[in-house]
Amino acid sequence: MSWNKLLCNHRELQLLGTLSGGQSFRWIHNKENDEWTGIFSKTVWKLKQENDYLLYQVIGSLLTTTQTIIKNKKQKNTANRIFESLLEQYFRLDFNLSKYYEQWSEKDGLFKSACEQFYGIRMLSQEPVENLFSFICSQNNHISRISSMVEKLCSQYGDEICKHDGVTYYAFPEVEQLAQPEVEPKLRKLGFGYRAKFIQKSATQIVEWGGNEWFKSLQDMKYKDAKQELMKLHGIGPKVADCICLMSLNHLEALPVDTHVYQIAAQNYLPHLRGKKNVTEKMYAEIGDHFRNLYGDMAGWAHTVLFCADLKKFQKSDESNSVVPKKKRKK
């Protein structure tokens, strides 16, 4: 299968930090050929970078616009444009990230240092249903287990997209599928623990409140109002609510504070918070407000760069795992 090309300066998008930095849990990196395989918009993708292009393949899709057989070049070009548009939305490529990096670097010396390696960290624009239930799975969990839980949700309740190289790929389930009464006991058997109840109860509430229309209403609200509405869901606390606001509701000032973010804040910005055993509600608000005052209305995105720079798995990466895309040799 040939690769399609989407013009994208490599300084504007870094796949490694963006796709494996804890935003989404459905991407797998093949280090041998530096390709990424993942799922969003009911579509299975392969991605890689080469010079100033984002290369992509569509392995399979459930989108109605792509179910018909492409018979001529014009239809193929139309389909490619649809997929390019999805990629542009997903990676928020309409944002001139270099400009924002310059602004954030002027305000913060730590950011200026971090962005030398962690350029092109994008805030993904995710689908709210997948984002919300993925982060319910993230509570008191680590990334490999979160990824496993998310895939179980998809294989149990999502529609099959395609089979490829011996792997069956599924779309993320609709919220109505997760609201069924039998979901909780089944997920408990699959090892979800208390999260099983959170998933089924929250799904039921969302359906009762209007499903996708309810999510759209949250996008139109002010950030703090949207956060409060999300926290009415069963098992959704401040951190998960902020993750959803930031990653799928376009409230880019939202800043999820966990113990990791607390350590960054206490060690580098708010020394009076050092040595605390727990992040209190007051501390949570103080940390978020500090970074919003520092970075402005995209504080959540800016802080994600610091978060990636502080992750041990990136600090240990050697030249073979460099974030710099490999240049294609000229023949």
Look at residue 313 in the predicted model and tell me its pLDDT. 67
> Which listed CATH number (3.40.640.10, 3.40.1130.10, 1.10.340.30, 2.60.40.1180) goes with 128-312?
1.10.340.30
Look at residue 271 in the predicted model and tell me its pLDDT. 97
Q: Once rounded to an integer, what is the mean pLDDT over residues 151-158?
A: 98
Instruction: Identify residue 29 by its one-letter amino acid code.
Output: H
Give me the chain's average pLDDT, please.
Answer: 92
Q: Once rounded to an integer, what is the mean pLDDT over residues 41-58?
A: 97
Instruction: Identify residue 76 by its one-letter amino acid code.
Output: K
Look at residue 246 in the predicted model and tell me its pLDDT. 98
Look at residue 74 in the predicted model and tell me its pLDDT. 56
Look at residue 177 in the predicted model and tell me its pLDDT. 98
pTM as predicted? 0.91
pLDDT tens-digit profile of 270-282?
A: 999 999 999 999 9
| Residue ranges in the chain assigned as alpha helix (H) | 15-19, 73-90, 97-107, 109-114, 128-137, 143-157, 175-178, 183-189, 195-209, 212-220, 223-230, 238-248, 259-268, 281-295, 299-310, 312-315
pLDDT at position 263 over 80: yes
Selected catalytic residue, list 239, 327, 330, 331: 239
CATH architecture of 4-94: 2-Layer Sandwich (3.30)
pLDDT tens-digit profile of 5-38?
A: 999 999 999 999 999 999 999 999 999 999 999 9
Active-site residue flag, 312: no
Confidence of residue 321 (pLDDT cuts 50, 70, 90): very low
Compute the distance between CA of residue 241 and CA of residue 188 in angstroms, rounded to an integer.
23
Domain coordinates in residue numbering, the chain = 4-94, 128-312
